[in-house]
Chains A and B, each alone.
Chain A
Amino acid sequence: MTEPVLVLTGVQKAFGALKVTDGVNLSVAPGELHALIGPNGAGKTTLVHQISGMLRPDTGSIRFKGQDVIALPPEKRARAGLARTFQITSTIPSLSVLENVALGVQARASHPLALFRNAARDESLNGPAWVAVEAVGLSDRAHVLAGRLSHGEKRALEIAMALTLEPAAILLDEPLAGVGREEGERLIALLRSLKGRYAMLLVEHDMEAVFALADTVSVLVYGRVIASGDPATVRADPAVREAYLGEEG
């Protein structure tokens, strides 16, 4: 197997006496879709926050593309190609879909903060933004304000924003949460179309989607990874069945 793009070793985080992340080891190889599942309160989102730099682990290391990123703030990790989406959709409501996506293109442009250069008509930003907008199927919504999109469309927009970072890895925090069946199927198809091209860490509750998409599944319970492996093995693991899948029936 090739060198993993994202490696977590012994990551620990406690809020007071509560160990939300308890010695997590985890790695994602290039092109691998690694699903992270676990019951509510298992610490999945907290872990994603630590990988993206919004929270700092107490101990342990997070290596991205071979470099320790523990000390890097979120914006530096993003510029290095570590993209993420949020459990609660996070877009810029008063900017259009295209502008939201162009923001990501801009972050990687040669003058990301040019003071006097018009942004809305800048083809060097809009061109790549269009590609990402089309990749997630939002072309005919490109000039709609992000705040006016449906929930599923916002999810797709977030993925487009992540793609513009030319990411080496994408962290997807419950991209299907709260999305209806039809839009959910569209998003699953979108994730499948991205599979193999990006390393992805997918936090998700929708078991059907997880077992259909994932190359590897890790199960997080009370901050610990209790099982990790290919979907069939994990599904058959008795500890997993007891801790998690059992309650889903």
Chain B
Amino acid sequence: MSIASPSVPAPAAAAAPAKRRPVVAIVLFALLALLPVAVSLGLPSHWLTLVTRAMIFAIAALSLDLILGVGGLVSFGHAAFVGIGAYATGIMITEGRGEALLILPVVLGLCALFAAVTGAVSLRTRGVTFIMITLAFGQMVYFLAQALSAYGGDDGLTLYERSTVLGFDVFKNRIGFFYVVLGVLVACYAVISVIVASRFGRVLRAARENATRVAVTGFHVGRIRLVAYIISGMIAGLSGFLLANQTEFVSPAYMSWPRSGELIFMVVLGGVGSLHGAIIGALAFLFAEDVLSGLTEHWKVIFGPMIVLFVLFTRGGLVGLMRKLGVGRHD
């Protein structure tokens, strides 16, 4: 029997496992889509702003999960991409080039370029060294933004208008903007899910567990990781574009290393590698931050220990917890 012979039907005894269905994510997106309705029925409108912001961070966390959860690369400089996206947007709006269709190619191009250059260097390393190098690159952009005195420098840059889409002020309407962000989130989730399930994604996942095996099977592991890193950086840049539009302000703080740490925590909080976990983690993080900071100005004193306890006692994050409780046992 030759290995190259055509397909042989699978024996009935070994039927393929059921196709994975993203039940949790679909329910989540449906609930999010209903939020403006809930607000019109009396939920405080503050929720709309909070959830919009949470969804923007969810996009960044989702992009991080592609390299951290799926690819096994702990990048500690991911906020740099959010910052580059936000700054490119802020500067272009300030310069009177507020059209999203002009800004987006710039944002995606800059993030891809930054990811390609820094990835080509940092992906030569693994483990702690990789964490440190990505952190260093992130801080580099942070200090660069601080030095941009023409665009606010250390104080940041206030924007007096939002981007337009084909000349229309879609982003000015809070509900309209909410649905734009939700749409981008759903699209990013869909694209990343497809990538993870693809041939490329399978090799990326395999390399996380056993890079040597993947290499002797005939794949260039470094190149695959670099492509994932670029895709991830571009999606994070997209969240920066949305963030600048929502806050109407950009500042170097967007890309400081604690921000990168928060993104990692969102992914860990939700459950590494599951994608919908990153979204849940980002939502939970921003809610906790909102609730706690309303209680006391020293909220971080409560939040810190909460994070530690959470990581210690819930293996697999919120998604793991949900699975234990019987929710979303679809895989």
Bound CA span A31–B294, Å:
75
Counting CB contacts under 8 A, is B289 at the interface? no
Is the CB–CB distance between B198 and A118 below 8 Å?
yes
* Residues of chain B at interface, number, CB under 8 A: 41
Chain A residues positioned under 8 Å from B206 (CB to CB): 92, 95, 103
Q: Which of A83, A104, A127 sits near B8, CB closer than 8 Å?
A: A127
Which interface residue of A53, A94, A102, A135 has the most chain B CB atoms within 10 A?
A94
Chain A residues positioned under 8 Å from B212 (CB to CB): 54, 74, 86, 90
Chain B residues positioned under 8 Å from A125 (CB to CB): 199
Binds A, one of B47-55, B216-224, B308-316: B216-224
Bound CA span A126–B36, Å:
45
Is the CB–CB distance between A139 and B216 below 8 Å?
no
Is the CB–CB distance between B3 and A139 below 8 Å?
no
Is the CB–CB distance between A103 and B11 below 8 Å?
no
Q: How far is the CB of B72 from chain A (nearest CB, A)?
A: 11
Which of A109-123 touch B at CB < 8 Å? 109, 111-123
Is the CB–CB distance between A142 and B209 below 8 Å?
no
Closest to A52 in B: B216
Is the CB–CB distance between A116 and B195 below 8 Å?
yes
Counting CB contacts under 8 A, is B291 at the interface? no
Is the CB–CB distance between B224 and A113 below 8 Å?
yes
Chain B residues positioned under 8 Å from A92 (CB to CB): 205-206, 209-210, 213-214
Chain A residues positioned under 8 Å from B323 (CB to CB): none
Counting CB contacts under 8 A, is A75 at the interface? yes
Counting CB contacts under 8 A, is A130 at the interface? yes
Binds B, one of A12-20, A158-166, A238-246: A158-166
Which interface residue of A76, A104, A121, A141 has the most chain B CB atoms within 10 A?
A104
**CB-CB contacts of B14-31 with A at 8 A, as 1s and 0s?**
111101000000000000
Is the CB–CB distance between A78 and B1 below 8 Å?
no
Is the CB–CB distance between A120 and B197 below 8 Å?
yes
Bound CA span A211–B1, Å:
26
Is the CB–CB distance between A119 and B197 below 8 Å?
yes
Q: How far is the CB of B290 from chain A (nearest CB, A)?
A: 36
Bound CA span A195–B206, Å:
30
Counting CB contacts under 8 A, is A84 at the interface? yes
Counting CB contacts under 8 A, is B305 at the interface? no
Closest to A112 in B: B199
Which interface residue of B15, B202, B221 has the most chain A CB atoms within 10 A?
B202
Q: Which of B3, B13, B224 sits near A132, CB closer than 8 Å?
A: B3
Is the CB–CB distance between A112 and B219 below 8 Å?
yes
Is the CB–CB distance between B3 and A103 below 8 Å?
no
Closest to B202 in A: A119
Bound CA span A164–B8, Å:
15
Known contacts A75-B218, A75-B219, A95-B205; decide if A131 and B1 are in contact (CB<8 Å): yes
Bound CA span A84–B219, Å:
14
Is the CB–CB distance between A115 and B200 below 8 Å?
yes
Known contacts A131-B8, A134-B8; decide if A79 and B202 are in contact (CB<8 Å): no
Bound CA span A79–B1, Å:
21
Q: How far is the CB of B70 from chain A (nearest CB, A)?
A: 11
Is the CB–CB distance between B218 and A78 below 8 Å?
yes
Counting CB contacts under 8 A, is A128 at the interface? yes
Q: Which of B194, B215, B217 sits near A116, CB closer than 8 Å?
A: B194
Is the CB–CB distance between B220 and A75 below 8 Å?
yes
Chain B residues positioned under 8 Å from A75 (CB to CB): 215-221
Is the CB–CB distance between A106 and B202 below 8 Å?
yes
Which interface residue of A79, A106, A135 has the most chain B CB atoms within 10 A?
A106
Counting CB contacts under 8 A, is B203 at the interface? yes
Which interface residue of A90, A103, A117, A126 has the most chain B CB atoms within 10 A?
A103
Q: How far is the CB of A201 from chain B (nearest CB, A)?
A: 14
Bound CA span A121–B220, Å:
24
Known: A103-B214, A139-B11. 10 other contacts (CB 8 A): A75-B221, A113-B200, A113-B219, A113-B227, A115-B200, A131-B2, A142-B10, A143-B17, A163-B3, A165-B218
Q: Which 6 A-B pairs have the closest CB atoms?
A: A127-B7, A107-B218, A78-B218, A79-B218, A92-B206, A119-B202
B residues with a Cβ closer than 8 A to A are: 1-8, 10-11, 13-17, 19, 194-195, 197-203, 205-206, 209-210, 212-221, 224, 227
Supply 13 A–B pairs (Cβ within 8 Å), ascending by A.
A52-B216, A75-B215, A78-B218, A106-B199, A106-B203, A112-B218, A119-B199, A120-B197, A127-B7, A131-B2, A131-B3, A132-B3, A161-B213
